[in-house]
Amino acid sequence: MNQYYVIIKNSIRDFYPANFAMVMATGIMSIAFEMMGFTGIAMVLCALNVALYLILCIILATRIMFFLPDLMADLKTFQRVFLFLTFVVGTNTVGMQLIIFYQMTALATSLWVIAFTGWLICVYFICFNFIQKKIIFHELVNGATLLLAVSTVSISLLGVRLLDTVHLQVDFLYSVMAGFWALGFVLYFIIITPLIYRLFFVRFEIRDWSAPYWICMGATAIITLAGCEFIARIPGMPTWEGNQKTVFGITMIAWIIGTSWIPYLLFMDIRKFTHMNITTSAPIWIKIFPWARLAFGTQYHAYELSSWSRVFPMGMYTASTLLLASAADVDALAIISRYWCWFALLIWSLTCTGMLRFIIYKMIYYETIQN
């Protein structure tokens, strides 16, 4: 009994802030498939995601109560504080699900308040790290840093949906949500500039490539989705009539930027999975579908917690492209979503399988060392 107590205690104390990336990924996949009309798949993913979110929230709350110094140490570490923003995005994603699937507007509003509070706390500690530790930003920026832009836009995304759901047509509130959306767009360009320099103009080894770099596309995808939500739900107020074309223009630019990232992201993933930790030639099953390493293989198993950062952008691209097809009245864009969604679901399935396998192996390992 004592050994299980120690395992649980250590797991809570060392709870990794990026765990909520699972909620982000599973939540947006359920929303995307609901938009595609596959309600059965969407409902299963939604129920799974709500349960997963509750479990992770309980663990996080327990860590806050009993291991607050460890939590504060994470917040005061520059590269880890950004990972707490997965909680913000995950919370807003669950809020969207509650509205779409269960019409629980009051609970979704509470989650928005929690997410906004979490966002303020994270922004405070990001600024704290910059000022107190004299961070050299361009040397430490990575894919996860873009979570600052993603979380900012997620505040706007759920906020606009809530305003529309409760029929609260207050110009000031829509302006605030538009401000968060615009801020997220600006933050994207501030972060992506040194990130592009790091990826393309300095020595970048394949071992340095990781799933969070997919957020280069995922950030633009959520900007696109939020922009489409504004276009669809902005009330017919004189103030917004002149801004609608501007919002649409920015939304299209964001989608084009995100789409242009995809070939590079796929290429780097393939290089990583077919070369990393492989001394000779990659086995045929890896060459056929490199992402199979997320779930299968003994020597070549490649799942890690950050793998979920690949799934969220894929699901977000599906949802944003489908909504953009409606906003732009271009059916060809909807066709992209219909094919891409199944690829995204396959990657989600492989990542989920890899996670379950990792948990089982870890339990067996603890059991073995205790015996």
Say what the pLDDT of residue 105 is: 96
**Domain ranges, ordered by start, for the chain:** 2-370
Separation in Å, CA 123 to CA 83, 288, 289? 12, 43, 39
Assigned superfamily of 2-370: Voltage-dependent anion channel (1.50.10.150)
Core vs surface per residue 194-213: b (16+ CB within 10 A) or e: ebeebbeeeeeeeeebbbbb
- Residue that is written with structure tokens 């009051």 in the block: 106
Question: For residue 178, what pLDDT is reported?
Answer: 92
**In sequence order, what are the residues at sequence separation of 6 or more whose Cβ sits closer than 8 angstroms to the Cβ of residue 130?**
78, 137
Half-sphere exposure of 142 (CA within 13 A, CB side): 16
- CA 136, 14, 311 angle in degrees (round to 5)? 70
Q: Which segments in the chain show pLDDT lower than 70?
A: 1-6, 135, 137-139, 235-241, 365-371
In this predicted structure, what is the pLDDT of residue 4?
A: 63
At residue 167, the pLDDT reads 83
Q: Which residues contact 165 (CB under 8 A, 6 or more apart)?
A: 99, 105, 108
Query: Measured between alpha carbons, how far is 34 from 30 in angstroms, rounded to an integer?
Result: 6
- SS3 letters for 131-177? HHHCCCHHHHCCHHHHHHHHHHHHHHHHHHHHHHHCCCCCHHHHHHH
Q: How far apart are CA 319 and CA 334, in angstroms?
A: 10
| Residue appearing with tokens 């806050």 | 64
Position 278 scores a pLDDT of 82
pLDDT score recorded for residue 97: 97
